[in-house]
Amino acid sequence: MDVKLFDSELKVMDVLWRNGDCTAKYISDVLKEEVGWNMNTTYTLIKRCIKKGAIERSEPNFMCHALIAKETVQEAETNELIDKIYDGSADKLFAALLGRRRLSKEQIDRLREIVGELE
């Protein structure tokens, strides 16, 4: 992914990922409720996302469509985290995540499943 989205822009994208295509007004209403942003703030962020190629706008009603999948952003952000904080070592990140808290049996089973699929 060549597009770098900031946390505030990701909040806008998250509304689209959760709800599918929706109007800028709807995004603004959701983010006013969830984050307390006013309409101008949200519209500015939507326009930034459009300029970056993350959102496509259409008429009528300033309809917004996500051009980037959530999974693409998650992968890019994870790779950046691994490179920046864990010297490019995914196993160091994995060990750090495991060491943070006690995992349930279901979570451990799911992690085994994931690792098994990679082998």
| pLDDT at res. 40 | 97
Sketch out the chain's domains with CATH numbers: 7-66 (1.10.10.10), 71-118 (no CATH)
pLDDT confidence tier of residue 95, bands split at 50, 70 and 90: confident
Over the stretch 24-64, which tens digit does the pLDDT of each residue have?
Answer: 999 999 999 999 999 999 999 999 999 999 999 999 999 99
| pLDDT at res. 71 | 95
Whole-structure pTM value: 0.80
Sequential DSSP letters for 19-84: H-SEEHHHHHHHHHHHH---HHHHHHHHHHHHHHTSEEEETTTTEEEESS-HHHHHHHHHHHHHHH
